[in-house]
Amino acid sequence: MSSHPQPSQRITVRKLLQMKSEAEKIVCLTAYDVSFAKLLDDAGVDVVLVGDSLGMVIQGLENTLPVSMNDMVYHSRCVANGLKRALLMVDMPFMSHITPEIALQNAGRLMKESGAHIVKLEGGSEQREVVSALTSNGIPVCAHLGLQPQRVHKLGGYRVQGREEEAAEHMLEEASILQQSGADALLLECVPAELATKISQTVSIPVIGIGAGVDVDGQVLVLQDVLGITPGRAPKFSHNFMAGADSIQAAIGLYVDAVKAKQFPQQEHIF
């Protein structure tokens, strides 16, 4: 278990903003069922993400593209039943937010049917109208920049984004546009640490990183990577916290403590 005492009050979007302002690291992990959701909640994880990564780690698919809204609603409802403190973030799956109208219908399902507190969607400035529509209707949004798995075929694979100066400047601009459109948080995936730090310092909303260095406002990993049970080679940005731990609970606690203390990610995890 984490050594940090855990408050009983529910984590909210407003609380995440407070954590950013007070330089308290935000801890996020994925979960897809009630059993792991309870473990994460008890360990002090601040945000539990039901990611469309379930397509790969739960369903055994090649990528996230086939994941449906029904899949997301089902798994999110299961996870919601295990949470008392953590904020529940849920991915909008591929093609579920291609227009503001479609996005409102699908995000509304996640809020009403599965208990989501905030939805996450991939895309840059082309999503500004969608973000604005959702947030103006009371649906908090976490935007997602950098590597966007739903665009894996367009990107040509799972590659670090923002290495070139022009691409980095574009991503910084995109982050500002999404914030201005109403985004409540931002996730950066596979982004050079220097760029991620600059984005986090530029926008006022919390920035959660995965493969984005240690100086963003929080960290997220896929639970299976944390437990060292992902088939094949683990991503560079992940770490097996089960190594040296005597239980799953202990491994999750080690992750929470490492993020809070800025001891994860370390140099070997950074682009």
- Our answer to whether residue 189 is catalytic in this structure is yes
Catalytic residue among 22, 129, 173, 189: 189
Give the span between the Cα atoms of 86 and 48, in whole angstroms: 6
| Strand, coil or helix: 121 | strand
CB distance 146 to 171 below 8 Å: yes
Q: Residue 136: what residue type?
A: S
Token pair listed for 14 = 């407003």
Write the CB contacts of 178 (distance below 8 Å, at least 6 apart in sequence).
124, 125, 127, 128, 131, 143, 145, 186
Angle of CA points 194, 198, 201, to nearest 5°: 140
Q: Point out which residues pair with 187 in neighbouring strands.
A: 144, 208
Q: What whole-number distance in Å separates Cα of residue 220 and Cα of residue 211?
A: 9
The residues annotated as belonging to the active site are 189
